[in-house]
Amino acid sequence: MTPRFQRLDETERAPVRLKVDGQAIDALDGDTLMVALLTNTRSLRQSEFDDSSRAGFCLMGACQDCWVWTADGERLRACGTPVSEGLNVLTRPPEAPWNL
């Protein structure tokens, strides 16, 4: 699997570990969730309307395409939310029927 984004610079920042859909991933301090997700995976999230994958649209907080969720159900805009150690996010809404 080739990630969607490839980090070219700023590789000396402190590492941050978080969980995405139960899997541990590494990011760097100062990354947004979107950067963390797309440097580790091919897509940002699953659509809540069908089984398609999304990779963000505007990448700057103007659209509604980058929503992800905390394990507690809080919605986060991935393009504007900084990563933090131990953050636990889901790429599908917690109540989505296909998560059953």
10-residue averages of pLDDT along the chain (100 residues): 79 95 95 92 76 73 84 90 95 64
34 in a structural domain: yes
Which residues make Cβ contacts (< 8 Å) with residue 42, sequence separation at least 6? 1, 2, 3, 4, 53, 55
- Where is 16: in which H helix or E strand? strand 15-20
6 in a structural domain: no
pLDDT of residue 97: 52
pLDDT of residue 96: 55
Indicate the number of domains in the chain.
1
37 in a structural domain: yes
pLDDT of residue 99: 47
Structural domain of 83:
17-92
With beta carbons less than 8 A apart as the criterion, state whether 76 and 69 touch: yes
Domain of 37, CATH number, reads 3.10.20.440
Claim: this prediction has a pTM higher than 0.85: no
